[in-house]
Amino acid sequence: MAKVTGLDGIVAAETDISLVDGEKGHLVYRGYWAKELAISKEYEEVAYLLWFGSLPNQEQLEAFTLKLQNNRVLPDSIRNILDALPASMPVMNVLQTTFAAMSDDAPSWPPTVEQAVALTALLPTLIAYWHRRQSGLPCMEPYTGLGHTANFLYMLSGAQPNPAHVKALNAYLILGMEHGMNASTFASRVVLSTQSDMASAVSAAIGAMKGPLHGGAPSGVIAMLDAIGTKDNAEAWIRQVLERGEKLMGFGHRVYKTRDPRAEALRQVTEALSGNDPWFDLAVHTEKTAIGLLEEYKPGRRLYTNVEFFAASIMRAIALPTSLFTPAFTAARVVGWTAHILEQAEINRIFRPQSVYTGPMPEQL
């Protein structure tokens, strides 16, 4: 039997949720280009699309938005668990622990859209609560009048967010919602296939997401932009990196061999917002400079901007600490996880792959 390390190229499921085509640079959510959704839609609309299969009309959107808002508040039982955890615990560990605890109250089978809505609505509140606790700040209660993205920023900072920051983060969260059969999504479907509950499946996905090879924060891009500092320094700084033969952070991707559609969408959002924030200005200029120099130094390598580059510029602009980069990614991807969990339940068959034994054999009897 041929070895397939990491299950590369193995089809584990059929799905109607998304298409990821790295060769063509395509990312499709249920028949829509993800980059167009990120530019033109709100978080609530795209979450509805992934869960229900179609974009909502105005009446459906209003009812759905109200459901999300009504599930933002921390239940006392969850608040008690959070307050009992050591304040030094990393945010991702807190999220995994809390979601595992939620499984005690959730019906084990089958999972429901209502559960998906509740878990998704609560996740930003958990992140903000823990961040402010670690920072020695009072917890901010959800602001009913704000949308999902704006409320997340409000609970983190305690202030009304900058509209430019809301628009940029909204695009990032939409583009982070779903990306095919990645490690965390696969983990969620494997757990759910045992007829475990949705909260346990999401807890398993969070465990996969916190690994640096999957949900690693784009801190290298932040460091690069910090080192460049101003637009005037960009060309000289990038030339020095390339002439030393070092990797330029935020360029190239394992899946996409052409332009990353997520980066394309975030570029458009960032360019539209340039002038509203100096970090957006620096990121746009640095990206254009780097693309030209990469073609000069490494012709034909097809090294384009990946999603981490513009994600980093957005995170830096909204002053999000690096410790919250992966949690913010998690707040986006929970929609995709729960959509896959619901889909798995519809056609469920427990995952039971084989392995190839490579150890010694006992002596013949």
Which residues are designated catalytic? Answer: 253, 308
C-alpha to C-alpha distance for 299 and 244, rounded to whole angstroms? 17
3-state secondary structure of 248: coil
Beta-carbon contacts of 169 under 8 Å, excluding residues fewer than 6 positions away, are 149, 152, 153, 314, 318, 328
C-alpha to C-alpha distance for 328 and 241, rounded to whole angstroms? 30
> CA dihedral in degrees (182, 184, 187, 191; nearest 10)?
-130
3-state secondary structure of 27: strand
Q: Which of 13, 5, 1, 31 is nearest to 341 (CA)?
A: 13
Which token pair is 86?
Answer: 């050591």
In the sheet that 32-33 helps form, which strands lie side by side, from edge to edge?
A: 18-21, 26-29, 32-33
C-alpha to C-alpha distance for 344 and 116, rounded to whole angstroms? 14
Strand duo 18-21 + 32-33: pairing:
unpaired
Report the chain's C-alpha Rg in angstroms: 21
Burial of 206 (0-12, 13-18, 19+ CB in 10 A): buried
Which token pair is 319?
Answer: 């002053």
Which token pair is 347?
Answer: 């056609």
Task: Report the 10 Å Cβ neighbour count for 159.
Answer: 9
Strand duo 26-29 + 32-33: pairing:
antiparallel
Backbone torsions φ then ψ of 324, nearest 5 degrees: -105, 0
C-alpha to C-alpha distance for 338 and 127, rounded to whole angstroms? 18
Q: Is the peptide bond before 56 cis (omega within 30 degrees of 0)?
A: no
